[in-house]
Homo-oligomer: A and B are copies of this chain.
């Protein structure tokens, strides 16, 4: 403690906790204020560390954290890119699940998926806007077109479901399901090798759309269950 005559030589206490956290927050704020969206590029690390007045280590640790949180993606020789836009008020809640169980059973993940997927459909039926309906309708048309012309419709199917998650008004649905789907599909080798995989679920998609469009949560839940029940059956068939 300095003498009374000279109370304190302006000792602004440094980071009470986590310099990397501060930097990560600064980057988040930058992403928000600069209006960066998914795919956009951040300034180079050298520029950032100069602008923030910090060493490269600190900058890199912050980037590393945001990378682990799925916010950023660094590509060597190219730059650092935004994967999902964030702001300074973004709250991160990382979940961890033991994947050993998943390896021998995607049925377990499918069950969790069903719960979330049903709830998302119900939320969409309650909150969908006119734009949501238009988006879903377009995606559904495209999906049916691809399905009829090619017999299968992997990406188009995903696109349709994404519009549903979007219509739910709760971004968490899309985030959870996106990753769950990712790890889900990684388990079997050729999800689209069987051109008729989950093909029987095809007609239910329009019913699901109509239920959401008409604002009928119960029907939306029912049709979502029907689709996932078919997926479940087909998985059982394929694993025999």
A interface list, Cβ under 8 A from B:
20, 24, 57, 60-61, 64-71, 84, 86-87, 89-103, 105, 108-109, 111-112, 114-120, 123, 170-173, 175-176, 179-180, 183
Contacts and interface: CB of A to CB of B under 8 A. Distances in A.
A173 B101 CA distance: 12
Question: Which 6 A-B residue pairings sit nearest by Cβ, starting from the closest?
Answer: A115-B119, A65-B68, A91-B99, A115-B115, A94-B94, A61-B64
Contact of A114 (B67, B119, B176): B119
B97 A175 contact: yes
Contacts of A170: 108, 111-112
A96 B91 contact: yes
A95 B61 contact: no
B90 A180 contact: no
Contact of A57 (B57, B71, B120, B183): B57
Contact of A95 (B89, B97, B179): B179
B87 A69 contact: no
Contacts of A175: 93, 95-98
B97 A93 contact: yes
Contacts of A94: 68-70, 92-95
A117 B114 CA distance: 11
Given A94-B70, A95-B172, A172-B109, A87 B100 contact: yes
Contacts of A91: 96-99, 102, 105, 183
Contacts of A179: 93, 95-96
Given A89-B100, A111-B172, A112-B170, 6 more contacts: A20-B64, A70-B94, A92-B94, A92-B96, A94-B94, A96-B175
B70 A112 contact: no
B105 A112 contact: no
Nearest to A60: B61
